[in-house]
Amino acid sequence: MKIRPLRLTLDNLGLVRPHRVRWGRFYAKIVHRAPKNLQGGNLMAVTEQKKAIVAQMKETLSEAKGAVLIGYTGLTVAQATDLRRKMLAEGVEYKVIKNTLTRIAANELNLEGFAEHLEGPTALATSKEDAVAPARVIEQFIKSTEKEVVTVKAGIVEGEVMDAAGVKAIASLPNREGMLSMLLSVLQAPVRNVAYAVKAVAEAQPAEAAE
């Protein structure tokens, strides 16, 4: 009669590598496992790490003037590098995010309608200075690619959540310097008109006096 080997698993031995203990025609294989008292510590460390990520994400979202959630599928390494370079040139931070932890951060910040877009592979583009820059860069990148490798899921502008259509709409706006220039032109237009009128009156007065 053939006797099969008896395999035993022992806990809390803390062995670095498996050992075999021969006992007649029986042998026991001792498998290394981490002590149970250390497993709880590992779980606690992971929990603290996740809390830190949520806190950092809350800070990122709350400080951003503009943010865009981006879905990426089929994005090559070269395209990802190019997108990061373009984002950096416009002062935009771009990073891949964890949906679950970002959802917690968004809910704690009361960003209604934002968490529902956190599905599938997701990246986040944010800017602390230019509310339009993230949307503008990603829309320009989408137009430059032959096939759709990235999609806009949602965005935030000045604390307000908007859908993909809203992000596309604001992407056509000029940057901060351009908008300030447009505003200055609007403000200066009435001043120029008044100046022209005053000049015309001043030039007309000597002519009337001569008559």
CA distance 133 to 131: 6
Structure tokens at 196: 């022209």
In a domain, 73, yes or no: yes
Q: Tens digit of pLDDT for each residue in 178-206?
A: 555 545 555 555 554 544 554 555 565 55
In a domain, 160, yes or no: yes
In a domain, 168, yes or no: yes
Structure tokens at 72: 């990426």
| Domain CATH code at residue 126 | 3.30.70.1730
In a domain, 49, yes or no: no
In a domain, 52, yes or no: no
| Nearest of 137, 170, 161, 154 to residue 70 by alpha carbon | 154
3-state SS of 126-170 is: EECCCCCHHHHHHHHHHHHCCCCCEEEEEEEECCEEEEHHHHHHH
In a domain, 48, yes or no: no
In a domain, 137, yes or no: yes
In a domain, 138, yes or no: yes
How many distinct structural domains can be found in the chain? 1
Q: Tens digit of pLDDT for each residue in 104-149?
A: 999 999 999 999 999 999 999 999 989 999 999 999 999 988 788 8
Is 90 exceeded by the pLDDT of residue 83? yes
Percent of the chain with pLDDT over 70: 62
Q: Which domain holds residue 120?
A: 64-176
